[in-house]
Chain A
């Protein structure tokens, strides 16, 4: 297992010494950022304004197509779909932020520690054990882990976020480890060692800034995966529970009206896809930026 499908891992990227130089923009990055900003804007605006209340039902206006009153139409209770999409953006972003947060905060130190341990004769086996454990965790796909969590605890947004976060840890550990290995092999780290800097000091001063770019790329990719996992779980009824609006559940509930009102499926589906596309594109763009190898290849 080397890479997560749907993504390209930043694991093999070489360390870019110039990662703190001015950020150059490329098309993937710009389109990705715009899509993400759109979703963030929807979520933020939903806190102050939505066209209707999330639970405002209108039995007279059930399963409506798009209209000036309801730009995205209405669902089986006559609730406004645009309102629900806006509320759903919150859950999507929250799950992504918490899950990726868990994975970054746990995975990155694990990778750095594994790489640092491998430097010492006494730590080689320990490093190997850490990475083997990591590989085992990698055999648990996010969705499967989340289903297990839903079985053990009550299905809900909380267990879903934690499970998706845990499943994303190995990706960060790998990226951090390979990045740290390269930094530790460099001239300036040898110089720092020669001047008796301690290992933690070296890790903070030299390693963190240099692997930050790759970790950010991985975070973008992991965010896309978590959006998919949350949507999938909620689609199965094992994620966000009613009455909290979630895109995955909207899509699931739309299924019974596919022949009468296909728009109901279209909107949540479109926004899930846009969110995933946005984070994938941003990740791609950042990778082109942080990984010099990729630049020669165009937008590979």
Chain B
């Protein structure tokens, strides 16, 4: 178990290093360079040279890379060439907003998907089960931004229940915060719930065919009871993996949802930085997103053996 966790941790660090090199290389090996990009194509060579000197861009790439990484390790993502402001506060502030959205969305997705998927599996041959499967197939095909637009048309523009955009921090007013949270979170969660429902259904179907369920049934348990007592824990294994992957997907999916609802999350900052040609900020935000994705993967990997003794004993 300890070796297993250690090997995953080493993989995590390696992946992070490789990712940082790739992100840095992509941003540095530019036609032109960051200073040129920030100033635009009309900038004079002198102005470019001055900006390069100001931010140390005239140094060799290796040194710039090391400086960048060392800075990040100390929590300093550097200074934007475009706005001249420090990047770290921007990232810290916006990532909290995104975290609220994403965590609320995955929780909602699980709350919807686990009962629905289990039900769809138990009622597999029934019209209810078939309907749930069909609906989840359609749900998967609806991109979150389309879900958002439909929800805005219905619940904001027509019924007037929720604001169509905007954000309020919980400390500014909890009611207002919740009111503005509903539509973005539901738009993010619906698609993931549809995907998760299918995994839950297939995981439960797999489990129902296991010998231990048959044994439990033979001992007199009903199908549902056998599933709840013996099956759900095993069905949880693939579901946890998928939910982890989904959490990562949601982080990126939130980029679009934040744009639609004008939410000051990390996705909005990323899109703004791209539009401003603010490469240092893009670089920092992408690294944070990759870091979060890798952390989520690591947690899923470590949770695995805890839920599944077969993996624990094998390693």
Contact = CB atoms under 8 A, between A and B. Distances in A.
Interface of A: 1-6, 8, 132-133, 135-136, 139-141, 143-144, 147-148, 150-152, 155, 224, 228, 231-232, 235-238, 251, 254-255, 258-259, 262, 265, 269, 272-274, 276-277, 280-281, 284, 297-300
A281 B153 contact: no
Contacts of A299: 133
Interface string B124-154: 1000000001000110111101100110110
B298 to A, nearest CB: 10
Contacts of A139: 15, 19, 248, 290, 293-294, 297
**Which of B26, B140, B270, B277 is packed against the most chain A CB atoms within 10 Å?**
B140
Contact of A300 (B14, B205, B246, B294): B205
A5 B242 contact: yes
Nearest to A254: B149
B94 interface: no
Interface residues of B, number: 59
B235 interface: no
Given A280-B140, A280-B141, A272 B124 contact: no
Contact of A152 (B14, B30, B140, B273): B30
Contacts of B87: none
Contacts of A265: 146, 149-150, 153
A151 B273 contact: yes
Contacts of A3: 241-242, 245
Which secondary structure characterizes the binding site on chain A?
helix
B202 A255 contact: no
B88 interface: no
A142 to B, nearest CB: 8
Contacts of B270: 147
Given A147-B274, A148-B26, A151-B279, A255 B297 contact: no
Given A273-B142, A281-B137, A151 B282 contact: yes
B23 interface: yes
Interface stretch (B73-81, B253-261, B307-315): B253-261
Nearest to B143: A228
Interface in B259-276: 259-260, 270-271, 273-275
Contacts of B277: 151
A198 to B, nearest CB: 33
Contacts of B252: 141, 143-144
A148 B255 contact: no
A193 B40 CA distance: 60
B283 to A, nearest CB: 9
Nearest to A1: B297
Contact of A132 (B11, B23, B245): B11
14 contacts: A5-B192, A132-B14, A133-B18, A141-B293, A148-B282, A152-B27, A224-B141, A237-B271, A258-B164, A269-B149, A276-B141, A277-B140, A281-B137, A300-B205
B59 interface: no
B195 interface: yes
Given A135-B15, A232-B256, A251-B145, A141 B249 contact: yes
**Which of A148, A262, A297 is packed against the most chain B CB atoms within 10 Å?**
A148
A269 B150 contact: yes
A79 to B, nearest CB: 20
A274 B141 contact: yes
B26 A152 contact: yes
A42 to B, nearest CB: 17
Nearest to B202: A300
Contacts of A238: 271, 274
Contacts of B157: 258-259, 262
A190 B255 CA distance: 50
A150 B290 CA distance: 17
Given A1-B300, A148-B282, A300-B205, 8 more contacts: A4-B245, A139-B248, A144-B290, A148-B23, A237-B271, A251-B149, A262-B157, A273-B142
A280 B286 CA distance: 29
Nearest to B201: A300
B124 to A, nearest CB: 7
Contact of B19 (A132, A136, A258, A284): A136
